[in-house]
Amino acid sequence: MTKQLFGRLALRAEGDSWNAYYALTDTMEGALFLGSIKLRFVQNKKRKALFMELMRESVGDILKEITGERPEWPEPHGQPAPEHERSGTG
């Protein structure tokens, strides 16, 4: 079966928070806000990984409802954001 992209987990540093969104593959327009954590808390790699896992599971729940299947995630840290969305703080 061919893998199909239905969207992505977008993690963005905005102000003093790290925000998670479910977004379409090539745009942030209409993105669904999932959650947020203060940047200072995700300086700890373990906490950062835990937050990312929680957000991946949340997106997995959304996609399971829509498609009947859970997504497979690129490892270990996903894929970089499209160039036009990068903040340069990366």
Q: What is d(CA 68, CA 56) in angstroms, rounded to the nearest whole number?
A: 16
Residue boundaries of the structural domains of the chain: 8-71
pTM given for the model: 0.75
Q: DSSP characters for 4-40?
A: ----EEEEEEETTEEEEEEE-TT--TTPEEEEEEEGG
pLDDT at 5 over 70: no
For residue 90, is pLDDT > 90?
no
Closest by CA position to 78, among listed 29, 23, 1, 30? 23
Q: How far apart are CA 55 and CA 48, in angstroms?
A: 11
Q: How far apart are CA 89 and CA 66, in angstroms?
A: 33
